Amino acid sequence: MLELGFLGTGGAVSTAERDNSSFLLNKESDLILIDCPGSPVSKIRKLQSNPVKIKHIMITHVHPDHIYGLPSLLHSLMDVKIRICVFGSDKAIRFCQDLLDLFHLQSKKAGSRVEFFPLEPEATFSLLDGVECTASENPHHPSSLGYRFTFHKAGLNLVYSGDTPIYPPLFRSAENVDFLIHDCSAPSRFFKQFPQLSTMHTHARDLGRYAQEAGIKCLIPIHFFGELDYSVSEIEEEIGESFTGKIIVPKDLQKILLAEEKSKEA
């Protein structure tokens, strides 16, 4: 089984329906957590997964809505004898270590053992059996990285942009991937109203155009701004102006069987 589960799909400002963006990759009950905002244990359990099975945590950057739940998660697991590997840029790793030290969560008395792995862009490394990850450059923040996951046994790959403006090298590296999860914070009309947004995030119309040029097979927009008034149908319509592949607009606590979705595309 290879399952993608969304703990949250929203931006920094949560709504009643969408919390901060984070998701879980579940491979035969071994878990990879991507970013860690609030209430991670509760959300993981709502996805019918066990937090004790977390093997790796991938941090995209150190903005609060992507990292503030990390102390809570590790505090919840401190009495369990497990090893958790935390990956991120050098800046992100140092921030995580300082954050955990504030709560004395790296005590030798803790049963859980946290190991940190600072990454450079283009670093490729093994996560689980048959799962390879490559870090990628991202201009959103000095601590930012995106990630490409290759599941060799399933024969599929998935790229996550992290929060980002349109960044052509990311789309070049993601050409023809099975799944692209990409920042899609709002419809284009808000980026016209607030041009500075384009320096940090991506709007739906641009995402559709670049995803089409890259030959993305299944596009999953995420990180919807909660402080702006629009519906996700507007997001889907703008993407669909250019993009002819499959679009999945996820909801919080939605699960997707990746191999099953790939077989539908074939």
Point out the residues that are catalytic: 65
* HSE value, Cβ hemisphere, 13 Å, CA-based, for 30: 13
Measured CA to CA, the distance from residue 37 to residue 83 in angstroms comes to 20
CB distance 173 to 167 below 8 Å: no
Kindly report the backbone phi and psi dihedral angles of residue 146, in degrees, each rounded to the nearest multiple of 5, phi listed first.
-105, 175
